[in-house]
Structure 1
Amino acid sequence: MEIPRRTELLRIAQLTAGILLILVGGLLGPIPGPLGLPVALFGLVLVLRSSRWAKRKYAWAKHRWPRWFSVPDRLLRRKRPPRAA
Structure 2
Amino acid sequence: MSDYSPLTRWRANPMVRTCLFGLGVMLMLGSPLVGVIPGPGGVFVFAAGLALALQNSHWAKRQYVRFKRWQPKAGRWADWGLRRRSAKRREAIAKGDPAARID
Partner of 2:75: 69
SS at match of 2:37: coil
Task: Provide structure 2 residue ranges, at least 5 long, that are not aligned to the other structure.
Answer: 1-11, 89-103
Give the total of aligned pairs. 75
What is the identity, as a one-letter code, of the residue corresponding to 2:54?
A: L
CA distance in 2, matches of 1:64, 1:22: 21
**Cα shift readout 1:41-85 (whole Å, capped 9, x = no counterpart):** 100110111111111111011011101111211232148xxxxxx
Of Structure 1 and Structure 2, the greater helix share is in 2
What is the identity, as a one-letter code, of the residue corresponding to 1:57?
A: Q
Partner of 1:50: 56
SS at match of 2:73: coil
Does 2:48 align with 1:24? no
Offset, 1:34 = 0.9
With CA pairs under 8 Å and 6+ residues apart, which has the higher RCO, 1 or 2? 1
- What's the RMSD between the two structures over aligned residues? 1.9
Task: Provide structure 1 residue ranges, at least 5 long, that are not aligned to the other structure.
Answer: 1-5, 80-85
TM-score between the two structures when normalised by the length of structure 1: 0.77
